[in-house]
Structure 1
């Protein structure tokens, strides 16, 4: 529907505003999810009965996973809104919803105060959080790339996950500081409330930033084309019918990013404290250091993906992530702060090789007029299946087998499937897509697909 020749020039100032605005929302989203992961053992004691502690912990991790299962619903609803009303509108909605829910979590009663009512309210908050988060990442990525020029596209798309990692760093940093100042008992009484309450001010700042953003040039071009041709936005059925193959391929690529990412982000601290026996402050420090490294390694791999080529870098990442995760979960068994830091750092230097290519694929693999909806459906479905379940499956596999080897086998199986999918996609992917938008109107839409000699 649009080509680069018809789009307005994107200025450096527009790109700076875009990056700041997009980072703000992903920061709030992952602040919440990182806090929940870090506080999993605390939450298991204050929101669930304690007659079976391991069952309570698994229940918390199951709830963590269930919030991700709502994400595809949020992706469908908010993604369709992004293709109908614009990326900026959805970004305003998501940051407001996520920050309010995170803040409200701080006000919930505990199990000792309200019994199962407290558990139900926690479940409701997690599900609503998952719904709003479902529209954030994919839409923010679309907005970044649609407001960028054609140079270093993977590098600029890498700023979308950077927002998530900054949110994680803030969460881990605050948790570490508070844990060093107060006792475990105080953390269970009021400390966790202070941490979740941070969502209110951060969300307000993010909302004020996003209010100043303009709609992306590509979406404005889509709107003009719809007016000229008297077309309506695509329905969910039209998106699925025309994009289901690309969505499945995207999910198969995504899973080699999201599984190791959430094993380190959402589970590693629990693994260190519950299965290795490391002190909670030390576990938090290890994850904090890894997140700082992850910010820079993601940007580096985004740059290298543009230089080396998408296909090569993605496939190499799928290969290297297997030994990286094996090293992480076995070396951590030494049980010291230094071993925990090294174990947490190694995988975050590797799996961003997949992250950079995966993130730009949210834009490359889907046409502009249904990019937000198709990308959000695919991203959130894959994240729910392989990211949200990662802590639960990780705890269950290690608890069942008594060894981290079973978890590494799971990572290896996922990485092999991604490797095969990437090879097939770059070999057989069409350079253009034709699908129906509106009754009886077939419109050719140009897809940006890597076709340079480096990547092919």
Structure 2
């Protein structure tokens, strides 16, 4: 084959569908992991974090989840550096393997009854490694999709990365529902809980295959050809007051829908239902599965809406809905019947879906191509560590102190009000061209 012809084939741009699937692949794994960890927290607490009482054991288990978020800023700096220096596609092939491997290893770890204190330490180490890869995964995947997209369809295209996150949660819920309906509680506690973690390994292989067929983005190739690639992206970010101001506003926007409310309703709520109501494990998983399927439809529709009316109106709508619906949602879940729980979850995933659809466009459109992954990743990682990983722990503690889930709902309302104020201070990004 002539060299010129070969180069032309290699340089051929992938279709938008392939780009969206490639961007979403890592999020499928990441959110599969988070959902599995949250839904199997009761079993993990007994295996790896035994304590004097159930509340202390659950707190320790969710502290293990928090370690994932603690290492995210490190991942954002390291992986963001290479994504802004070498390109989005190359680094994304690495992150999908690292994240899936860290999850799968948990499935083969011996319990505390066998190796004592080493068991929780090993779980935390796996979570830290997963957090490093996740810290750079989200902004790199979002940048890949965003920079391949047409101007008027950026939010819709980027929303598919978050669709991947929801798909990962749905896959986890399907696995959880299947296992809980076929295995007894004792079998789940002894070995059944390992199965969903081991499934992460083949998921990683599929994700790598999809991403290996993509090309580098036009935006990155442009700055590469112009010699405008940043030598030290993180240094440029931290020494630029304008970039720092934008990242601070992003922290406020991410507070509610992207992290605190998200983790309260989608990670902590199942534990709350199993521990404080009589709905049962199977019904809890099934109601969450239906709600997440609904949310997966809400996200791309919200992305399309954001391309039409702008990012800010969609964010405002999400934050207002959180303030209105958080308390009624927890009151309905407290009734402990399948119908009320499902109704509450269907209602609350609407503002979550609205927020999820526009968080990546807002985060990445605010920053130029040369520091986009590093800046977006650092803001996202810090917000996730402060507001996301702490949410289940805070919720367990708050319910333990007050005895009611309503107290957690009030905290969501406060978080939504802060996010509303941060959104009001952030300029509209949807009508701008991407800066180099």
So what's the TM-score if we normalise by structure 2? Answer: 0.93
Q: How does 1:46-445 map to 2 (within 5 A)?
A: 46-226=47-227, 232-242=230-240, 243-257=243-257, 258-426=259-427
Shift in Å, 1:113: 1.2
Number of corresponding residues: 422
Alignment partners' CA distance in 1, 2:434 and 2:193:
49
**Counterpart in the other structure of 2:7:** none
Distance 1:165 1:446, change over 3 A: closer
What per-residue deviation string (whole Å, max 9, x for no partner) do you get for residues 145-200 of structure 1? 10111122211111011101000000011011011001111111111111110011
Per-residue displacement from partner, 1:346-367 (whole Å, max 9, x unpaired)?
A: 1101222222222211221100
Which whole-Å CA distance do the structure 1 matches of 2:223 and 2:343 have between them?
A: 47
Contact 2:264–2:391 under 8 Å retained in 1: yes
2:119 and 2:152 mapped to 1: Cα distance? 50
Once the 2 structures are TM-superposed, how far is the Cα of residue 12 of structure 1 from its aligned partner?
Answer: 8.6
**Per-residue deviation at 1:426?**
2.3
Shift of 1:301: 1.1
Structure 2: gaps of 5 or more residues: 1-10
State the Cα deviation string for residues 314-360 of structure 1 (Å, max 9, x = none).
11221111222222211011111111111111110122222222221
- Whether 1:32 aligns to 2:54 is no
Q: Deviations over 1:121-153 (max 9, x none)?
A: 111111111111111111111110101111222
Contact 2:234 2:371 in 1 (8 A): no
What SS does the aligned partner of 1:202 have? helix
Give how far 1:407 is off.
1.3
Q: Could you say which residue in structure 2 is the equivalent of 1:437? A: none
Shift of 1:119: 1.3
Following TM superposition, by how much is the alpha carbon of 1:97 offset from its aligned partner in structure 2, in angstroms? 0.2
Contact 1:165 1:291 in 2 (8 A): yes
Q: CA deviation at 1:241?
A: 2.1
The DSSP-based 3-state class of the residue aligned with 1:135 is helix
Structure 1 runs, 4 residues or longer, greater than 6 Å off: none
Note the alpha carbon deviations across 1:419-439, whole angstroms, 9 max, x for none: 112112228x9x99xxxxxxx
Distance 1:395 1:446 in 2: 42
| Distance of 2:245 and 2:123 partners within structure 1 | 36
Segment of structure 1 superposing worse, 140-149 or 400-409: 400-409
Deviations for 1:204-227, whole angstroms, at most 9, x for unmatched residues? 11111111111111111111111x
Q: Give the whole-Å Cα distance in 1 for the aligned partners of 2:393 and 2:354.
A: 25
**8 Å CA contact retained: 1:313, 1:354:** yes
Distance in 2 of aligned mates of 1:205 and 1:311:
35
Pick closer, same or farther for the CA change 1:12–1:265 going to 2, 3 Å: farther
Instruction: Return the offset for 1:409.
Output: 2.1
Separation (CA, whole Å) in 2 of partners of 1:183 and 1:19: 39
The whole-number CA distance in structure 1 between the counterparts of 2:317 and 2:121 is: 44
Change (3 A) 1:386 1:345: same
| Alpha-carbon separation, structure 2, partners of 1:189 and 1:403 | 31
Within 2, Cα distance between the matches of 1:118 and 1:312? Answer: 47
Residue 426 of structure 1 aligns to a residue whose secondary structure is coil
Question: What's the TM-score, normalizing by structure 1?
Answer: 0.89
Residues 67, 129 of structure 1: 8 Å contact kept: yes
Cα distance in 2 for partners of 1:406, 1:99 equals 35
Distance 1:225 1:61 in 2: 47
Distance of 1:370 and 1:203 partners within structure 2:
27
Distance 1:422 1:54 in 2: 36
Which whole-Å CA distance do the structure 2 matches of 1:179 and 1:49 have between them?
A: 22
2:108 alignment partner, SS class: coil
Q: Deviations over 1:222-271 (max 9, x none)?
A: 11111xx6x65234222122221111111111122222211122111101
Q: Name the Cα RMSD after superposition.
A: 1.9
